[in-house]
Amino acid sequence: MSIPFIDLKTQYSRVAGNVEQGLRAVLESGAFINGPDVVRLEKRLAEYCGTRYAVGCASGTDALMMALMALGVGPGDAVFCPPFTFMATAEVVALLGATPVFVDIDSKTYNIDPAQLETAIRAVEADDAKLYPLPKHAGKLTPKAVIPVDLFGLLADYPELLSVAAKHGLYVIEDAAQAFGATMELGGTTRRACSFGQIACTSFFPAKPLGCYGDGGMCFTDDEKLLELLQSVRVHGQGTDKYQNVRLGITGRLDTMQAAILMAKMDIFEDEVLLRQGVAARYAELLAAIPGLTLPSAPAGHLSVYAQYSIQAESTAHRTQLLEKLAKAGVPTSIYYPVPLHLQPAYANLAYAVGAMPVSEAVAGRIFSIPMHPYLTAEVQAEIAKGLAG
Ligand SMILES: *Cc1c(COP(=O)(O)O)cnc(C)c1O
């Protein structure tokens, strides 16, 4: 039997009854858009994450887009984000005519480095690329927002990031597409992903920690005014009347069927987060003895949901060797992410040079991911470790 990278089949066998019942209810009700399950899900997930409000939407990308639109981000604005992330994080910034300003990552957590964020903000404020590498831009940019990404399921350094952002008057938009369910201890309380910043965003793409069976996403906020803006932007800038459009918006709604699926999956989600901890702990034990591997590490007080189990090899050549060994052993692998965003052709207009983001570039050359999901057995993990050691 081949080893899956992510095992959605075993998960389905646990939730099938409730998923099918939920879908049948939607089919019989005919409320395919904005049905009662969407509102129920929003309430349930807001409560789970510890925020006042949630707004279901069509994807993680739309969630980020709606957040930027609700905060009024547009041309002339600088939005700071890490280059070591999925395309969407910076794409929405550029689509709205704002300018992504990349800030390099911390070499241990792979998340945006708060100290470099501060330097980059100062560089934009002074319009001086000698202070920090800046994108090519016309006219002076206004620092407007930062989008920290909780990469691979580990929360970014919010205590530091929120303090830098507050000092410079920036909005914070949490990109928690990979981190739904992750936690950190903060001031004596446990804080969950999607509870940081003015607006937090997540994705329910099937392979994410909480995935549906299609596309889906959600925004979270504590601010009632932002809630109204997000709800309006989600449906073509709708006003209080359905046929009154008070601003530009998008077709950003979450399907009722996907909401019903997510309601069923939430019943087992906390158990799955625990199972992921066990799988990660077993990997740590099995792989500790293999020389030259840098395993994922969570800072004290953090709980990662391991959207990916990502390992660093010693060099690009070493990674190539390891990937070949794993392929021979029938173990599927992936590289998240082989090219940091500042060097992607889509952002060529920003004219970033090779070497501008050294940590992201080094990590992109050495990182790879092995199978990770709640249903990985000790036997299969041993087989994967054997393949890696091979
Ligand atoms: C997956 C992902 C997104 C986009 O989510 P979609 O639902 O695929 O649109 C955004 N940011 C990060 C970091 C992601 O991993």
> Strands, DSSP E only, in the chain?
53-57, 77-81, 99-102, 142-146, 171-175, 183-186, 189-192, 199-203, 217-221, 302-303, 309-312, 367-370
Lowest mean pLDDT among 17-26, 233-242, 302-311, 313-322: 233-242
Domain boundary among 264, 297, 325: 264
What's the CA-to-centroid distance between 90 and ligand 1, angstroms?
11
Does the CB atom of residue 124 touch ligand 1 within 6 A? Answer: no
What's the CA-to-centroid distance between 347 and ligand 1, angstroms?
18
As a whole number, mean pLDDT of residues 31-39 equals 94
105, 224: one domain? yes
283, 154: one domain? no
Does the CB atom of residue 161 touch ligand 1 within 6 A? Answer: no
Answer yes or no: is pLDDT of 37 > 70: yes
pLDDT at residue 1, rounded to an integer:
61
The CA-based angle 312-316-376, given to 5 degrees, is 40
Among 205, 218, 308, residue to substitute to test ligand 1 (most atoms within 8 Å of Cβ): 205
192, 335: one domain? no
Instruction: Give domain status of residue 1, yes or no.
Output: no
The type of residue at 372 is M
- Cα(193)–Cα(230) distance, rounded to whole angstroms? 19
206, 276: one domain? no
Q: Taking the model in full, what pTM does it have?
A: 0.98
pLDDT at residue 218, rounded to an integer:
98
Which CATH number does the domain housing residue 259 bear?
Answer: 3.40.640.10
Does the CB atom of residue 175 touch ligand 1 within 6 A? Answer: yes
Instruction: Give domain status of residue 3, yes or no.
Output: no
pLDDT at residue 275, rounded to an integer:
98
State which residues form the domain around 167: 8-264
Q: What is the pLDDT of residues 341-388, one digit of tens each?
A: 999 999 999 999 999 999 999 999 999 999 999 999 999 999 999 999
How many angstroms separate the Cα of 1 from the Cα of each of 51, 370, 380? 43, 17, 11
As a whole number, mean pLDDT of residues 323-331 equals 97
Q: Whose CA is nearest to atom 5 of ligand 1?
A: 60
Domain boundary among 199, 230, 264: 264
pLDDT at residue 240, rounded to an integer:
86
Q: How many domains does the chain have?
A: 2
